Amino acid sequence: MAIDFTFTDEQQAYRDALRDVFARECGSAEQLERLTDGHKKHHSDELSRKLGEAGLLGPSIEEAYGGAGGGIVEEMILLEEMMKAGAPIGAYAVSLIVAGAVQKFGTEEQKQLVLGNVAAGGVEAIAMSEPESGSDVASLTTKAEKVEGGWKLNGVKVWISNAHIADRILIVCRDAATDSSAKKHEGLAMIWVDPKADGVKVERIETMGGADEVNYVYLDDVVVDDDAVLGQVGNGWLQLTSGLNVERLIIGAIAVGQATRAFEGALQYAKDRVQFGRPIGTFQVQQHRLADMATEVELARLLVYKVAGDVARNPTALFPKEASMAKVWATEVAERTVNAAFKIHGGYGYALEYDIARQVPFSLVATTFGGTNDIQRNIIAKTLGL
Ligand SMILES: Cc1cc2nc3c(=O)[nH]c(=O)nc-3n(C[C@H](O)[C@H](O)[C@H](O)COP(=O)(O)OP(=O)(O)OC[C@H]3O[C@@H](n4cnc5c(N)ncnc54)[C@H](O)[C@@H]3O)c2cc1C
């Protein structure tokens, strides 16, 4: 069995192009400050559009829709480099999740619209979670009622990333005509709404991350046309679950990027900071801490790219165990690495002047979104016959 973890020449060239553009566009604290309006926004439309124009977004999207016609491995490269650079294009990951569903279930028109938008740097949002339906997402109650020529939606969604800047929100809802004795996974649908349409209200949730990011979405008699349906009404659960492996890999790649950024920052700090007349990196405690960080991050990278390679070779298989393992391991490595990097910075890790302070909230919450790591462990355990 040959195991080859090296990138192709094209993949290396893509990674190098990303490194160049991120260093040029958002490599300094001043640039980040400007693009995020003083860290109040986690997504810069300006930067995202610039990357789209340069053909650097949507590497897995078919060329006919504005992408590069590559695959999941190229997306991993983009997400890892984006997080490693701290590039403020935080809405890209969720847009990519929506793109995955459209690639599989969209009409030609929907592909042109949504895939084209993601490749150009636009923003797509997806709304599954509700106040009473988090981990148990299939219990959601947002209703879609059939009306002449379309659907009428009512319900409340919570935690919806980027709804405030999205061009569309894909609502996961329940067909009101579903038999009341049906199982909770039956009768689900995916239907787009325009965030600016009558009856849609988007309300920001204040978070420890500080920036504009997540929202409540209230739907009050929102009427949409029949062509706002993605795939088939009633098929929503299958449509949702068919993309979960990629969603977990997306979060895994982001976590690898974040962990790498935290590690590299801490390594530099350990070389620069002098106490007791010598750089703190010369103390064995710090050397071992950094050695452990480097080892864990490398393992996380290997696992994420290994599973991405499996998916690339067999795109119709779901790899639930492997994708959940990649999400759990990478996000928990990022959490531990950021924590260790924080300690290496001493008191300065607490100052917002240092990048590591801004990394703490995300490193914690990445273990929660996209299905909490407890739920991922449930999935892994199920594959062990437990
Ligand atoms: C920053 C952020 C961005 C998000 N973006 C989106 C988005 O764009 N779209 C969207 O639809 N949702 C989004 N979410 C929602 C996210 O997917 C949910 O928060 C997550 O699925 C957990 O649901 P919950 O918060 O209701 O927690 P709960 O489900 O209430 O869980 C609470 C605790 O109970 C545990 N628990 C629950 N059930 C079990 C079980 N069966 N076994 C063991 N432990 C269990 C959980 O692991 C957790 O520790 C986002 C959340 C955050 C924080």
Given this model, what pLDDT does residue 5 score? Answer: 81
> What region does 144 belong to: left with phi over 0, alpha with psi -120 to 50, or beta?
beta
Q: Are residues 110 and 168 in the same domain?
A: no
126 lines ligand 1 (CB under 6 A): yes
- C-alpha dihedral sign at 35, 40, 45, 51: positive
Rounded mean pLDDT of the chain?
97
Mean pLDDT of 36-65: 97
Mutation test residue for ligand 1: of 97, 213, 372, 380, the one with most atoms within 8 Å of CB = 372
pTM of the entire predicted model:
0.97
Contact between 193 and 211 (Cβ < 8 Å): no
Q: What is the DSSP string of 222-250?
A: EEEEGGGEES-TT-HHHHHHTTHHHHHHH
Q: Is the pLDDT of residue 1 over 80?
A: no
Given this model, what pLDDT does residue 146 score? Answer: 98
CATH of the domain at 203: 2.40.110.10
The answer to the question of residue 93 being in a domain is yes
Q: Which two tokens stand for residue 218?
A: 């209230």
The answer to the question of residue 2 being in a domain is no
Q: Is the pLDDT of residue 365 over 70?
A: yes
Tens digits of per-residue pLDDT, 294-316?
999 999 999 999 999 999 999 88
Q: Are residues 213 and 253 in the same domain?
A: no
Cβ neighbours around 272 below 10 Å, total: 10
Given this model, what pLDDT does residue 293 score? Answer: 98
Q: Are residues 196 and 263 in the same domain?
A: no
Mutation test residue for ligand 1: of 123, 136, 204, 368, the one with most atoms within 8 Å of CB = 368
Residue at which a domain ends, from 65, 88, 121: 121
Q: What is the 3-state secondary structure (H, E, C) of 312-332?
A: HHCCCCCCHHHHHHHHHHHHH
98 lines ligand 1 (CB under 6 A): no
Closest C-alpha residue for ligand 1 atom 51: 369
Q: How far is the CA of 207 from the centre of ligand 1 (A)?
A: 15
Tens digits of per-residue pLDDT, 136-186?
999 999 999 999 999 999 999 999 999 999 999 999 999 999 998 999 999
159 lines ligand 1 (CB under 6 A): yes
Q: Are residues 224 and 258 in the same domain?
A: no
According to DSSP, the β-strands at 200-204 and 188-193 are unpaired
Confidence label for 86 from pLDDT (cuts 50, 70 and 90): very high
Q: Is the pLDDT of residue 4 over 90?
A: no
Residues of the domain holding 27:
9-121
Tens digits of per-residue pLDDT, 223-280?
999 999 999 999 999 999 999 999 999 999 999 999 999 999 999 999 999 999 999 9
Residue at which a domain ends, from 211, 234, 257: 234
Q: How far is the CA of 375 from the centre of ligand 1 (A)?
A: 9
Given this model, what pLDDT does residue 180 score? Answer: 87
Amino acid letter, 363:
S
Extract the runs of DSSP E, i.e. beta strands, from the chain.
Answer: 124-127, 143-147, 150-161, 168-175, 188-193, 200-204, 214-225, 229-230, 274-275, 278-279
Q: Is the pLDDT of residue 377 over 80?
A: yes
Q: Are residues 92 and 132 in the same domain?
A: no
The answer to the question of residue 1 being in a domain is no
CATH of the domain at 330: 1.20.140.10
Give me the number of domains the chain comprises: 3
Q: Are residues 281 and 364 in the same domain?
A: yes
Closest C-alpha residue for ligand 1 atom 27: 134
Q: Are residues 256 and 367 in the same domain?
A: yes
| CA 236 to the chain's CA centroid | 20
Q: Are residues 248 and 367 in the same domain?
A: yes
134 lines ligand 1 (CB under 6 A): yes
Tens digits of per-residue pLDDT, 249-260?
999 999 999 999
Q: Is the pLDDT of residue 356 over 90?
A: yes
The answer to the question of residue 132 being in a domain is yes
The answer to the question of residue 3 being in a domain is no
The answer to the question of residue 4 being in a domain is no
Q: Are residues 253 and 376 in the same domain?
A: yes
Confidence label for 77 from pLDDT (cuts 50, 70 and 90): very high
Q: How far is the CA of 135 from the centre of ligand 1 (A)?
A: 5
Mutation test residue for ligand 1: of 94, 142, 369, 386, the one with most atoms within 8 Å of CB = 369
Given this model, what pLDDT does residue 230 score? Answer: 98
Confidence label for 3 from pLDDT (cuts 50, 70 and 90): confident
Q: Is the pLDDT of residue 2 over 80?
A: no
Mean pLDDT of 333-337: 98
Q: Are residues 256 and 213 in the same domain?
A: no
Q: Are residues 60 and 138 in the same domain?
A: no
Contact between 224 and 198 (Cβ < 8 Å): no
According to DSSP, the β-strands at 143-147 and 229-230 are unpaired
Residue at which a domain ends, from 67, 88, 121: 121
Q: Are residues 264 and 295 in the same domain?
A: yes
CATH of the domain at 99: 1.10.540.10
